[in-house]
A and B are shown apart, each in its own frame.
Chain A
């Protein structure tokens, strides 16, 4: 039986040659994402905006028009009502009452429950996030993403050289911006789970980048005279099969979650699927070219103990 090979054994794709196109494309993506973020904005969920979210199950397909009329009659501001996965499953979003603070939210929940009592079979979910907590969640969420990136930067700096660290952080920022951009376009709800998704993307993209960098470092020791562009290309090609297979298995798992994992997780898994794709792209087309742009000092590996080990393994040019 022949093994499945997504990538032929000995590829020589000149990735570095595409770097201008890739950088231009990525700059465009970043600029567009920033513009979208300010123009259209993220569809913040109640975690970050405060408010009330109620998921109800109805007996048979829900009559959304009727529900809108009922809810409209309560005068609760801009109420959003949407089908959630199934016809008999409805998600209702209500903004935080402008006045009265936390206690007022509870009164709104009570009023809604009283109004909907005859159509609701089950209250599947009731979430109320007050303004105080949502503010804290915004702060801690932002802090988490920034902190994670900073720690990884330090780790890469520690393990490699600052040029690598720079390349890694550029591609991380790229991935985060692109993900936020797509979430702005599709208006997928941005909730606490999304912070988890972004951190996972950051971790995964870093993981991918590190694998390529590891190989670049190894090749730097091995081929002392090779042109840096050629060397980066070689490293990417050598790790290409791994990059594609790991992305493949991860995407398979995520696709399964996206399709079968239920409505609650859908936005979360979508963000991760997109992030894995963009993370894989950026570690090949962004992270590696950055080292090329800033250059690396090539004598640093000369004194390490690694040299002795490398000497033994035969170099195949």
Chain B
């Protein structure tokens, strides 16, 4: 047990040196690592959001509103299809999650059905189904035709909405100028967002909390918004939308969208040349510019509403046709609001609202305090363990402490190389490892004591000690490793960080406390050839 072949010694020493080398970057300031060539260890451990401050958010794409939107457009398609076929109908509307319509003349039913069926398309990209799947299902009962969205259609739509949302969320967050945000899909309809080191996490929420669906619509000239509210009449093809600014007043706008926000190519915050107030300048693509030019030419003198997320931002009167495809939005903006609106318009609209299911934001102050507290606890805990081990085992205790130090270095090295995330519970995991890592040494030393007490000489006692302790060491560590593995699987964020350091610590501690310790002891015995050992 105490004999090591040369290649084994080399390997063990190399591993220890690598551990020291790869943990080293963590003990110098980050800035001083920039000049280090890439072939040298230069990676530091990633600090989790709870240590460096930042925001964690779990968002969910609102699938219900997604389905509602889709039903709304399905309804429009049905109306157009039936109109084209000159089919008479009544009661076209959305009920539950279907679009239903009553066909007046029974002889039209087959025609209507074919027309409506023609609206549907096949869903592309589903490799698992042998038959191409349709996105709508049409049922006829008596004189009623019911159109519903198929399950695969909803799934496909959710998937593409999530993908699109991720892209837009990324663009919005990039505008905040933070480093290394994490944006990824989780499950079917969720998006995980982690943004480290934000000064103002509230702003992130404001940016993500808005759908930013913008469009330009004419204000109805049938009556004023107040009149419509007072008389409770809404002329066909119009709806009441309130202004964003307080006092919120109703505006009667046409339902028809003249130019959509998707035609925007750029939006920038600026200041109005006359009033000096913050505004947002925007520019359309060529289609948008043509549509915008046409509308403004045909409607000079009418107010034109700019609608964002079902609120009227402003409704300026068109003074002259705007042919250049660019314009200006002036609301009652603060500089920040104008800035944010520009970001939202540039990044584009979300396909559906995002709900915040879970939010965890840690300010930079708490993060720094946590690091400091963790460091103090780790140092004091380590000193206590070191003193205890040396007091209990003397010289052998010193060997255990050397192994423990190497163990710490290796934990840091592994975490740095894997780019694992260190969290506050992760630091607790390291401190706990300090306490538990010496267990292997304790097991071995206690065993050696027993063997000496039974009358064995130093070398056989040590050999038997290592031999017999091994099975206990493995059993004991494997059980803790099971805990760590399960925590890693189920945990998220900080708790997962605990599982990582605990798991890594267990593996490295078996190597250092058993193998490295044994090597040190074997070298010592070969040099000193002790007749007795005091343990």
Binding site for B on A (CB under 8 A): 1, 3-6, 9-10, 55, 57, 101-103, 105-106, 113, 122-130, 132-133, 140-141, 143-144, 147-148, 151-152, 155-156, 159, 192-193, 195-196, 199-200, 202-204, 206-208, 210-211, 214-215, 218, 238-239, 241-242, 245-246, 248-257, 259-262, 264-265, 268-269, 272, 313-314, 316
Contact = CB atoms under 8 A, between A and B. Distances in A.
A136 B38 CA distance: 43
Contact of B431 (A101, A103, A140, A254): A254
B388 A248 contact: yes
Given A256-B377, A313-B464, 6 more contacts: A144-B487, A148-B482, A156-B479, A204-B480, A261-B427, A264-B424
Contacts of A253: 381-382, 384-385, 431-432, 434-436
B443 A155 contact: no
Contacts of B475: 159, 210-211, 214
B363 A125 contact: yes
Contact of B377 (A4, A156, A257): A257
Nearest to A144: B490
B295 to A, nearest CB: 34
Interface stretch (B99-107, B111-119, B312-320, B391-399): B391-399
A113 B363 CA distance: 14
B442 A245 contact: yes
In the A-B complex, the 5 residue pairs with the closest CB atoms: A253-B435, A262-B373, A256-B381, A203-B483, A250-B435
Contacts of B454: 314, 316
28 contacts: A3-B534, A4-B391, A55-B366, A113-B202, A122-B363, A125-B362, A127-B360, A132-B60, A140-B490, A195-B491, A195-B495, A203-B484, A204-B436, A206-B480, A207-B436, A211-B443, A211-B472, A242-B443, A246-B439, A248-B388, A253-B381, A253-B431, A256-B377, A257-B377, A261-B376, A261-B377, A261-B431, A272-B432
Nearest to A9: B453
Nearest to B453: A9
Interface residues of B, number: 81
Contacts, number: 242
A202 B381 CA distance: 22
Given A1-B394, A122-B365, A151-B486, A128 B425 contact: no
Contact of A250 (B394, B436, B489, B492): B436
A55 B363 CA distance: 10
Interface string B524-535: 000000000011
A203 B363 contact: no
Nearest to A142: B490
A41 B385 CA distance: 36
A261 B428 contact: yes
Given A106-B209, A257-B377, A246 B425 contact: no
B442 A124 contact: no
B410 interface: no
Contacts of B479: 152, 155-156, 203, 206-207, 210
B58 interface: yes
A246 B359 contact: no
B28 interface: no
Contacts of B369: 262
Q: Name the residue in B205, B374, B428, B481 with the highest tally of chain A Cβ atoms < 10 Å from its Cβ.
A: B428
Q: Name the residue in A148, A262, A272, A314 with the highest tally of chain B Cβ atoms < 10 Å from its Cβ.
A: A262
Given A3-B391, A246-B442, A260-B373, A196 B495 contact: yes
A161 B81 CA distance: 74
Contacts of B464: 313
A256 to B, nearest CB: 3
B486 A199 contact: yes
B201 interface: yes
A150 to B, nearest CB: 10
B325 interface: no
Nearest to A154: B482
Given A210-B475, A261-B428, A196 B391 contact: no
Contacts of B374: 261-262
A126 B428 contact: no
Interface in B315-360: 355-360
A143 B230 CA distance: 57
Nearest to B55: A126
A5 B482 CA distance: 32
B449 interface: yes
A123 B366 CA distance: 9
A202 B502 CA distance: 14
